[in-house]
Amino acid sequence: MAKALRVALAGLGTVGAGVIKLIDANRDLIERRAGRSIEIVAISARDRNRDRGVDLSGFEWVDDTTSLASHPDIDVVVELIGGSDGPALVLARNTIASGRAFVTANKAMIAHHGLELAGLAEGKGVALKYEAAVAGGIPVIKGLREGAAANEISGVFGILNGTCNYILSTMESEGRDFAEVLAEAQALGYAEADPSFDIDGVDAAHKLSILASLAFGTAIDFEGVDIRGIRHVIAADIVEAESLGHRIRLVGMASAGNGLLQRVQPCLVPLAHPLAHVTGSLNAVVAEGNFVGRLFLQGRGAGEGPTASAVVADLIDIARGETGPAFAMSVASLARTDRAPAGESMARTYLRFIVADRPGVLAEITAAMRDADVSIESLSQRGVTAEGAAVVAIVTHECREANVVKALGLLEGSSSLQAAPMVMPILEV
């Protein structure tokens, strides 16, 4: 049997400890699948004395994480530090420059620097792998890069952030409001102390930009993602969605028709759509191929086991000698596509207003819709809030997004509105 693949592990948080546990638990199976053993040789983290629930005595401890890139006894470095820049990026650049393979779970770094790193890897003839960066244990990167490689993909979309999905589905099942459920998610460890990256959609946007590149053969364009989070979803929105036969989900969606369109935003998802039934902290990704049809992948998108599983799967590929281009084709072959024109997308749209409970307010809103050429499919007003305001929900007929924006512009500054309107497109089956 070939000599062992020697691994350095940078970062010993939940996932790093999970990688050690997984390799130890499935050692024989991994060796048979990889064609050789995979051995962790060196490790590095900020705190040498922290108890991680695994025995680290058999590994060489390296204080300077970035020096792992030039360690003489290492074939591949696994980066689990996080952050788009800083030590993680230095380690990535130096590892590849030294002619060693690099595995990462760092979606932010790949979204911001993936093209640079992929180009470096091509030049050195080494592997850059990042299955764990998107959707945890779901093999979506491999699915798009390899399984669907013969297909033209017309669209890719999905639920890409487990924290947001947990919050929304808990609001849905228990009738509680956003702030209360977020606090619970933080207490349970599902959400960070500063949850902004999750609830404001940035984490999902990082992942979406990577998926779009793989799906369409385009250069990553994270800056081109239109990002709207779930921070302003309220319990009344959940109730309205249910009354319409829908559920609210944070959906990342991308298409490459008239330019590259990339969006992360809360949407109303009909019960007949598979994404409506993705609950808790699960993730799901849907891709539409011209020959394979609809592909639907669902599973745990984060956590020790799923993410470690994806990391070790990449190590098995490297042990087999699989070092193809990181984005399914060479960096030079990736298209530099213009962004889709803003406002041209067509959709039915849900609009929620919190307004003063007084005569003439509905007339003011409907007049703005009329003047912007937005046709109303349904309108409802439910109760009055504790502050004495009414909640008005409108569903439009299909229309251009620009028309909806115009209508809201006509209402901007109105004394009738007590809060900024909530806008959510309605996903079609």
Please list the active-site residues: 207
* Contact in structure between 171 and 262 (CB atoms under 8 Å): no
Main-chain dihedrals φ then ψ at residue 254, nearest 5 degrees: -145, 145
Strands (E), 325-371: 346-347, 349-356
The contacts of residue 102 (CB under 8 Å, 6+ apart) are: 76, 77, 79, 92, 95, 96, 117, 121, 126, 127, 128, 129
Exposed / middle / buried, residue 157 (Cβ in 10 Å: 0-12, 13-18, 19+): buried
The number of angstroms, rounded, from the C-alpha of 45 to the middle of its chain's C-alpha atoms is 26
* Contact in structure between 315 and 7 (CB atoms under 8 Å): yes
SS3 of the chain: helix, strand, coil, percent, to 5: 40, 25, 35
Three-state SS for 81-123 is: CCCCCHHHHHHHHHHHHCCCEEEECCHHHHHHHHHHHHHHHHH
Host H or E run for residue 200: none
The residue among 396, 348, 358 whose CA lies nearest residue 376 is 396
* Contact in structure between 355 and 380 (CB atoms under 8 Å): no
Q: Structure tokens of 265?
A: 């935003």
Q: In sequence order, what DSSP letters do the residues of 44-56 get, joined into one string?
A: E-S-TT---SS--
The residue among 401, 234, 392 whose CA lies nearest residue 409 is 401
* Contact in structure between 205 and 227 (CB atoms under 8 Å): yes
The residue among 231, 86, 87, 240 whose CA lies nearest residue 161 is 231
